[in-house]
Amino acid sequence: MTNMDALIDIVVKGRIKEAKGETQKLLDAGVTAREIIFDGLSKAMEIVGEKYEKKEYFLPQVLLSAQTLYQGLNLALPKLDTASAEAAGKIVLCVVEGDVHDIGKNIVKALLTGAGNTIFDLGRDVPLKDIVQKAKDESAQIVATSTLMTPTLAGMKEIEKMLAEGGMKGKVKTMVGGGATSADFAKSIGADGWGYDANEAVREAIRLLKH
């Protein structure tokens, strides 16, 4: 078993006390934070998701795995070598109202920050009016929202409507992401951008800031 496999196993099994040590071991061995996050921690969560779908795991196990993941993620995120200052936008970022899944949003935040943007992170389960208000208050160029759940997709559509009603549509660009979204969905609600993962979130931000 490689050290990366060991970390994946720790997260999948929720062996919370071992996650920090194993992540540190990988960093010490020269494995990059990016590899740890995408090839290790995210992969582990995919396996957890599959187990949940097969009813091998129930919510308490998923929660424990998420908490275990955060032990490693909090160690790896500050070590991401992203400094490039390719983009220098003001971006309001959050998980929409009704949804508490924030692991992906936090990875997106780290990469967007590393690319030179200022991020106003409103957290998770954020009321839609707060998102629009923050964009207005900070004169943000982009509103980036995340959701992993189908019922909360409606909130993303509502944000487009609220921006239009406030005369902000077009001035503030929007991008959406998270497991429940797709390029087609983004297009259908009139969002300006969509990304499959955190790397694409950076690519989209750079594109939107140029327009």
| Residue ranges in contact with ligand B12 by CB under 6 A | 42, 45, 48-49, 52-53, 59, 62-63, 66, 98-105, 107-108, 144, 146, 148-150, 175-180, 195, 197-198, 200-201, 204
The 3-class SS string of 120-154 reads EEEEEEECHHHHHHHHHHCCCCEEEEECCCCCCHH
For residue 78, which of 122, 30, 37 has the smallest C-alpha distance?
37
Which residue, 26 or 45, has its beta carbon nearer to ligand B12?
45
- Closest approach, Cβ 103 to ligand B12, in A, equals 4
Distances (CA, A) of 18 to 11, 28, 69, 176: 9, 15, 11, 34
In which element (H, E) is residue 118 found?
Answer: strand 118-126
Which residue, 28 or 40, has its beta carbon nearer to ligand B12?
40
CA–CA dist 96, 144 (Å, integer): 10
Which residue, 22 or 174, has its beta carbon nearer to ligand B12?
174
- Closest approach, Cβ 129 to ligand B12, in A, equals 19
Which residue, 28 or 150, has its beta carbon nearer to ligand B12?
150
- Closest approach, Cβ 44 to ligand B12, in A, equals 9
Question: Do 168 and 102 touch, CB atoms closer than 8 A?
Answer: no
In which element (H, E) is residue 95 found?
Answer: strand 90-96
What tokens were used for 61?
A: 């196990």
- Closest approach, Cβ 84 to ligand B12, in A, equals 17
What tokens were used for 26?
A: 């990988």
Which residue, 114 or 177, has its beta carbon nearer to ligand B12?
177
Which residue, 28 or 187, has its beta carbon nearer to ligand B12?
187
What tokens were used for 14?
A: 């929720």
CA–CA dist 113, 85 (Å, integer): 9
